[in-house]
A and B are shown apart, each in its own frame.
Chain A
Amino acid sequence: MGYDDRKTTSLVRLNSKISAVNLMHLDYSGAAVPEGRFIKEDAQGRAVLAGAADFFAYLNFLDTVHGSVKASTKDNFDASAPTLEHGTGGLSGIVGSGLPIGIAQSEWDPATVPALGDVVAIGASARPRAYNPPGGGAPIPINRPWFGTVYRISQGIVWFVFNSNGVVRSA
């Protein structure tokens, strides 16, 4: 089972019309945020990676290396000069409300292999991480928010129904 990178889809697959997806504009903070990672807003409304304990998260739709996200200012006369980057178009956070999202398994937190029915929480580097549902073999830890449920795994793509508002397992 492998992720077919010859496909011309974006890393984050949406099984819905773009007009039906609620996209939130978030400013670029200067920190790199890859596609398919969980993000949140910092105090200035800028996009930063979300942490495992966050209760609310968007899913990042566009990598920060894109020209429509950031611009650079350079000293063209000195190759040793640093590049200063700032936001232009900013990032687009997908607001989940029962939205089907597919992300290649290679992008998931490798700590666990996603399986059907698993719940999706925020893993290392804000990657999606699968846990067994409450009552499963090795269930999600108590008080760890989760944001969706894996419903399909095919062709190396793990699909889950995404909700931005986290749900926790009570003790």
Chain B
Amino acid sequence: MIEFTPDQFNALFGEAIKAGGETMEKLGQATGLFVQHKLRENAFCRKIMTPETVTERECQRSLTEDSLEYVDDIEPDSVAMRINWRGEPDKTWIMGKRYSIRFHTISSDTFQKTESELRAYRMPLTKVIEQNIVRDIQEAEDLSFMDHVKAALFLATRHQYNKLVERGVYSTTKNFADETELANFLFTQNKIYQASPWAAAIPTSALNRARGYHTNVLFSDQTEFNRIVLREVVKVCAARQMKAKCFLMHEYDYADTVAWSVNEAGLEVTSEIVKDGYKYTTIGGFTYVTTVRDNPKLVMPGQIFCFPSPQFLGRFLILDNTKFFIDRRGRFISMEAWEEIGAGFGNILGVACVLLKGAELTIPVQFQDPLDALTGAGSLRIINDHTRTSIPVPV
């Protein structure tokens, strides 16, 4: 990778603007690599699902539009059986399952400036690019990732609920027909606890929160991040026949580690925390990713997401790595960066989220009646305020 110091970069930038042509192309390439490097450092989705580069030849052309898709396999389930020495096993004709990942472009705005105004910059121009172009692209990447994650939370909860109904754990019908049924289930494990529309608060005596075995959206009774919270959420993966790998939270909640005492961290680590803070890359054997960004569509304080290993989750594909374009017309300089990426979850069942007490989460929902007919869609705001049993509001 070509590395530049800020001074070198500013000099190259000035030279390129004056000379144009090949120097401008060189600058574009160098900046493209810089943007890629910063994205690897900053976008949290890239730490949860490691990006893989794919080429056009590995993709399929879409039949209906001018675009490419990547078709990935899902490993089939099968069962072994015990047979006696004269017996023979059942015959199964195998059929593969696949899912497709569609690509889209993420582009920054086209930033415009005159050469004269650019002279007023004493700070490294790499910072300007980082604060505008890199930040915009990483925000869009993470937003797209979190859209999938939040959709997965609803679908995975529905899946597990239906599985438990079929297994006879719950003696009710399949699916959630509306927001009241979903909220009833999350708060009481009884989706018909009260009739729709949600009218009365649930008394504390009736609370029986769905746990990791039952749902992928959990309500914790803890107000701060600690290992009890972590235990609750990583159990979701264990209950879905996979192993949790990493969790994602806001830096706001990670700050709780500063106040971890002997009870949470033991004598040795606590004494380290007092001096240097928590400095390990794992908690309870699980890696963690934090973000400091204040965007309610990404991760809000009080939300802790948990993900299994990428092989149980899906793929993050890069068809075209970040490219940077800079152009000068007369006095005016314009620059922009873009990339072609696609992300897909082959298996949504292990994605989980625990809400600390008082926190809230908005997830997209698509309700169905017991016969799978669609009965309403939108988003549902769920608040873990269960001691006062607040009412979830569809938004």
Contacts and interface: CB of A to CB of B under 8 A. Distances in A.
Contacts of B198: none
Main secondary structure on A side of the interface with B: loop
Contacts of B348: 73-76
Given A71-B144, A82-B366, A77 B159 contact: yes
A112 interface: no
A67 interface: yes
A76 B69 contact: no
Contacts of B103: 67-68
Interface residues of B, number: 36
B53 interface: no
B386 interface: no
A80 interface: yes
A21 interface: no
A67 B374 contact: no
Interface stretch (B148-156, B178-186, B229-237, B271-279): B148-156
A68 B69 CA distance: 11
Interface of A: 30, 65-68, 71, 73-78, 80-84, 86-89
Given A67-B104, A81-B155, A88 B144 contact: yes
Interface of B: 62, 64-65, 67, 69, 74, 97, 99, 102-105, 144, 147-148, 151-152, 154-156, 158-159, 162, 343, 345-349, 364-366, 368, 372, 374, 377
Nearest to A81: B155
A82 B65 contact: no
B67 A68 contact: yes
A3 B59 CA distance: 33
A84 B151 contact: yes
Contacts of A82: 155, 366, 368, 374, 377
10 contacts: A66-B65, A66-B67, A67-B102, A68-B102, A73-B152, A84-B154, A84-B364, A87-B147, A88-B102, A88-B144
Nearest to B155: A75
A68 B105 contact: yes
